[in-house]
Amino acid sequence: MKRILHMAASALLGALPLSGVALQCLAEDTFSSEQTALMAGSCANCHGTDGRLVGSVPTIAGRPAAVLEARLLAFKRDEVGDATIMDRIAKGFTDAELAALASHFSAIDPQADDATDTEQEPQE
């Protein structure tokens, strides 16, 4: 019985949403670098650390902010016919948040090999 309770408790804990960060409190149109970094963290799952992953998911680091913003807004407005996932992701952000994310990733050097890049092996 004790064991079953323990298992139930772990199952409950496992079900807690990891991304339950309250972004709705960001009512203003400008964001601190900490706020933007928090939002950008959810992109790393697919686009790699700092958006530098090269592979089937497009690299977003170092691309012009205007291009990234236009793509994100197009995803949000269902204007990208072959989108698989970004349409749903983009809908979760305000236009101002998407602009902040675009300028965040455009400012990252896609080639940089700094100390924060340890989580991921370079793909050659």
Closer CB to ligand HEC, 42 or 49, in the complex: 42
Q: Which of 7, 85, 107, 112 binds ligand HEC (CB under 6 A)?
A: 85
Tell which one of 23, 38, 73, 83 touches ligand HEC (CB under 6 A): 83
Does 43 participate in binding ligand HEC (rule CB under 6 A)?
A: yes
The residue count for binding ligand HEC (CB under 6 A) is 17
Stretch touching ligand HEC by CB under 6 A, among 8-16, 18-26, 38-46, 108-116 = 38-46
The number of residues in the chain equals 124
Among 26, 31, 36, 47, interactor with ligand HEC by CB under 6 A: 47
Residue 71 is a binding residue for ligand HEC (CB under 6 A) = yes
Rounded CA separation 53/49 (Å)? 7
Nearer to ligand HEC, 8 or 55 (CB): 55
Q: Is the dihedral of CA 61, 63, 64, 66 positive or negative?
A: negative
- Which parts of this chain interact with ligand HEC (CB under 6 A)? 42-43, 45-47, 57-58, 60, 68, 71-72, 83-86, 89, 101
